[in-house]
Amino acid sequence: MMTLGLPLLMVIVGAASFFVQTRADTTTRLALVDERAELDGSAASLPESNDLALSVSPSRAAAEAALQRGEVDGYLVIPAGFAQGATPHLYLGEEPSGSLRPALASFLRRAAAPDAPEWVLDRLDDPAVFTYQDARGQNALSGGVSLALRVVTPVALALAFALMVFTGISQMGPAMAREKDQRVMEMVITSLSPRDLVAGKVLGTTMLSLTQFAVWGLGILLAAVLALTGRVEWATLSIPWRAVAWAALLGIPAYFLFALLAAGLGIIAGDSQQARQLAGMLGFFGLVPLWFAGAIVNAPDSPAAVALTIFPLTSPTIGLLRMALTEVPLWQLGLALALILVSMVAALWFVARIFHAAMLLYGQALRPRAIWRALAGAG
């Protein structure tokens, strides 16, 4: 229910937004009261705008009467001193929509200079194209959705990894403790080595969690596409595939590393309740890198930021946060991936050794001396 129900709900919400947007009549009918007496009906019309339909009204009283009869949605008053700085007034029953505001702004710019050449008015409507250029001279993007996507994608992936660790790791420790308490280990230990048993348990449980998160991610993506269809130009979007690729390269093995550590805590714990508490603390540690977000924003290339990028337990989150602000060197990301893989091998060896020492201790926590003896190979 949680795996399929949540993304289905998000898709339904996105589809509802899509159908409402496609079927709604977004044209706003306004009566125009030009107290300068410079516009007539033909000059007031804006055939190129689907968001605004203007009709000339001789006075405010006539415009108000048309509003009361339901002939218009509101009326716009251009004062006599508009060219000298007097402010126009819009009488509308609701806040102007995001599409209505630029249509009104375009009309008022043209009303302020009715005798100006057409190319001047077009330039006033679109005075400049703003381009984002990062500090290292790469990834030049136009403003708007493309720039937002370039910055938001790494941050969203970093938050997603932190939340995955916080919500998903808590089940690994209790699973190991529960099977130890139910004496399942005695039945399988004769045919499997401790390393193979731990690796198989961690692999199965972790892949189950990753599959659930993948389904949720696809649901969120599909809902976002439905909600934004018709509002953005998909051809102009520039997806930061480098951040997506490194999110997978660093995030998936790092999640396995957290799962191995949670499994070790579950073996050390005396029962499922203690294992759940210890795994919860480890999951909370996955949110710790977010505490350094302020320092990373102020100095994304500082030694502390580089160290947190390389450290295996913080590298996915900090590395992605830095990608939103600066160009992270390839050697730092490569070193972080190598350290995560080495840490995975070391964690598997560590968990297998303490599992061998604790597999017959039912309902008992593994003491520090026993852990040390297991790691030292003394039994």
What residues are paired with 232 via a beta bridge? 229
Q: Strands, DSSP E only, in 117-217?
A: 131-132, 141-142
DSSP annotation of 236 = G
d(CA 132, CA 115) in angstroms, rounded, equals 35
Per-residue model confidence (pLDDT) at position 378: 45
Q: Which residues pair with 90 in a beta bridge?
A: 76
pLDDT of residue 101: 75
The pLDDT value given to residue 367? 61
Residue 377: predicted pLDDT: 59
CB 38 within 8 A of CB 87: no
3-state secondary structure of 258: helix
CB count within 10 Å of CB 254 equals: 27
Closest to 352 (Cα-Cα) out of 186, 130, 193: 193
Classify residue 325 by its DSSP letter.
T
Residue 44's pLDDT is what? 45
At 282 the pLDDT is 80
By three-state DSSP, how is residue 199 classified? Answer: helix
Please list the pLDDT of the chain residue by residue as tens digits (379 residues). 766 776 677 667 666 655 555 444 467 788 888 887 666 444 444 445 566 777 888 888 888 888 888 888 888 888 888 777 788 888 887 766 666 777 777 777 777 776 777 777 777 777 766 666 555 545 555 555 556 677 788 888 888 888 888 877 777 766 666 666 655 555 556 667 777 777 888 888 888 888 888 888 888 778 777 766 655 555 556 677 888 899 999 999 999 999 888 888 777 776 667 767 777 778 777 788 888 888 888 888 889 899 999 999 999 999 998 888 888 899 999 999 999 999 999 988 888 877 766 665 555 555 666 566 655 654 4
CB of 175 closer than 8 Å to CB of 266:
yes
Is the Cβ–Cβ distance between 359 and 184 less than 8 Å? no
Task: Give domain limits for the chain.
Answer: 27-127, 141-376
Burial of 369 (0-12, 13-18, 19+ CB in 10 A): exposed
Write the class of the CATH domain 27-127.
alpha beta
What is the token pair recorded at 216?
């949720």
With CA atoms as reference, report the closest residue to 321 among 287, 288, 297, 302.
297
Cα separation, 74 vs 88, whole angstroms: 13
- The residues near 141 (Cβ < 8 Å, ≥ 6 apart) are 131, 132, 147, 150, 238
Give the number of residues written for the chain: 379
What's the number of CA atoms in the CB half-sphere (13 Å) around residue 138? 10
